[in-house]
Chain A
Amino acid sequence: MSTLEIRSLSKRFGKLQAVHSLDLTVQPGNIYGILGPNGSGKTTTLGMILGVIRPDTGTYQWFGQPESHLARRRIGVLLETPNFYPYLSAEKNLQVVASIKGCGTSRIEAVLKQVGLYERRKTPFRTYSLGMRQRLALAAALLPDPEVLVLDEPTNGLDPQGIADVRQIIQQTGQQGKTIILASHILDEVEKICTQVAIMKRGQLLASGDISQVLQAENRILVASDNLNALRQALTGRPGIETVRTQGALLELVISGTPDPAALNRMLLDQGIVLSHLQVQRKGLEETFLELVAEDVKTA
């Protein structure tokens, strides 16, 4: 049984197709990253599977059950900006959450300590800084000791210490075998925490799967010679060379498999081409990601 199963979910806001026929499956124990630039439909998707945004078409199931508010009580959620009653203290706000979730108030002290808000538990929410608000939202998400955590930009507004704290909490939770769904536009965050990833852009899924497969670092070799045209001809269509791109005075080769610069050099010498430049480069995830989302979504 999947923890979450999304089937062709779509949502349009006026002229904007915010989410377009999205399919996604999250298995128990996954730490699933939803990665995409701002406005790619991440929050809309989460809003739909959490019952606050009505999908135009499509369905979703939590824990293999049809849509129900009861499923949401088993999920800890931090969605966008933290929403609390400003006149209530952290403690009282969590009491409201506890009575909605039906989870009892016994863990309130523990989660407030976990996020570092215990000393401020009696002061009203309205006096909190952005970072403290985010921490309280995380405390609320952790309160029912949920099977699933859904986090939308959880480190938003936090200082470096806060970011480190939050990531640690997420990782700890993941190590307990819980399922985590993390939406973020920060690649580094997803890369550090997640095991699976889905990449979204303009409401569509570009890729999904194990993070090592989706965000594979590709190998590239940069070469140059006096006669760039001859060099390009010699390289185009060679087995093991996927693409040849011009980059200023250099040619960029995308290599499948492990790059072997010595073999390449020998092969070109045999053809009478002398290289004036030969450089092996590993492309970072950052670039792969940017490239992935930069390509226009053409499939309708």
Chain B
Amino acid sequence: MLKLLEIELRKLLPYRSFWAAVLAYALLMPGLFISLYRLGVNVRGLQLDFNFYNFPEVWHNTTFIASWFNILLYFFVLLVVTNEYQFRTVRQNVIDGLSRWQYLGGKVMLMLLFAIGSTALVSVLGWLCGMFLSETQNTAQMFVKTEYIGLYFVQLLGYLSFALLVGTLVRKQGMSIVIFLGYSLVFETILRYRILPSEWGLGPYLPLQALGAVIPNPLLASFGGPPANYDLKIVGVSAAYSVLFILITGFVLNRRDL
């Protein structure tokens, strides 16, 4: 498997768009974190000040904010996957001696690398925010809610697996973006709220609905809303979707002429 990752990295490391994406990612995320420090909001003349970075809520808050950047990685995976079809290099890779499952394995390794790297970045940033910006420095509180780091990983891997599937199915860059947006913004929303009878209770378990709910929005609670706790069932379903997306991608790859 490491051999497959090596092949992927040989393709990727000299690729400028990759470094552009990494740079954007590594600068924008801390930038946003810093800019959100002591966010003051004026609601109808009422001045409210928030600190998102108090232990232990910092883990929930930072992973939630960081998940907005998932879209960047999502599009990057889409780019990497569709490139292989645009350049017809997937065909070349197979001719040169990769099996189709190995080709898929390389892509999955790459996604794992992205997800692990991003999770590590968020963990470090979250910890730094907590250490320097938290008003409470109670060691006992520091590691409560660190499970949100795990949730972040599950959610990101889910999105990237979905990108892998969409990119493989559609093959064309522009079209795959259109299809992703159309599916996530329109199709699934209509399916959830208009087509599926709500008493079935299936709506929240549609792929992107579930993925989006892995880390529930904590900011509402910060503004005095009800506490947002994660739902293990949603998390499990999301992890299962990752596996499913990767397997479907494998079957599609295996059946198709390249």
Chain A residues packing against B (C-beta within 8 Å)? 47, 50-54, 68-70, 72-73, 77, 79, 81, 83-89, 92, 95-97, 99-102, 140
A sample of 5 more A-B contacts (CB under 8 A), given A73-B97, A96-B10, A99-B7, is A50-B94, A51-B95, A51-B99, A96-B7, A97-B96
Say how far B4's CB is from chain A's closest CB, in angstroms: 9
B209 is an interface residue with CB less than 8 A from chain A: no
Query: Does A77 lie within 8 Å of B95, measured CB to CB?
Result: yes
Which residues of chain A are within 8 angstroms of B88 by Cβ–Cβ distance? Answer: 81, 83
Query: Does A100 lie within 8 Å of B258, measured CB to CB?
Result: no
Chain B residues packing against A (C-beta within 8 Å)? 3, 6-7, 10-11, 14-16, 83, 87-89, 91-99, 102, 255-258
Which residues of chain B are within 8 angstroms of A100 by Cβ–Cβ distance? Answer: 7, 93, 96-98
User: CA of A54 to CA of B102 in the docked complex: distance in angstroms?
Assistant: 17
Residue among A47, A51, A88 facing the most chain B CB atoms (10 A cut-off):
A51
User: CA of A195 to CA of B102 in the docked complex: distance in angstroms?
Assistant: 37
Q: What 10 A-B pairs are tightest by C-beta distance, nearest first?
A: A73-B97, A69-B99, A83-B92, A83-B88, A52-B258, A72-B97, A100-B96, A53-B257, A50-B95, A99-B7
Query: Does A99 lie within 8 Å of B258, measured CB to CB?
Result: no
Which residues of chain B are within 8 angstroms of A87 by Cβ–Cβ distance? Answer: 14-16
- Given A92-B14, A96-B7, A99-B7, A84 and B97 touching (CB < 8 A)? no
Considering only CB atoms, which chain A residue lies closest to B254 in the complex? A54
Say how far B168's CB is from chain A's closest CB, in angstroms: 15
User: CA of A88 to CA of B95 in the docked complex: distance in angstroms?
Assistant: 19
Considering only CB atoms, which chain B residue lies closest to A137 in the complex? B92
Say how far B83's CB is from chain A's closest CB, in angstroms: 8
Query: Does A54 lie within 8 Å of B255, measured CB to CB?
Result: yes
Please tell me which one of the listed residues B94, B96, B255 contacts residue A101 in the complex, with CB atoms under 8 A apart.
B96
Query: Does A84 lie within 8 Å of B89, measured CB to CB?
Result: yes
Say how far A105's CB is from chain B's closest CB, in angstroms: 10
Please tell me which one of the listed residues A69, A88, A89 contacts residue B97 in the complex, with CB atoms under 8 A apart.
A69
Please tell me which one of the listed residues B15, B16, B102, B258 contacts residue A69 in the complex, with CB atoms under 8 A apart.
B102
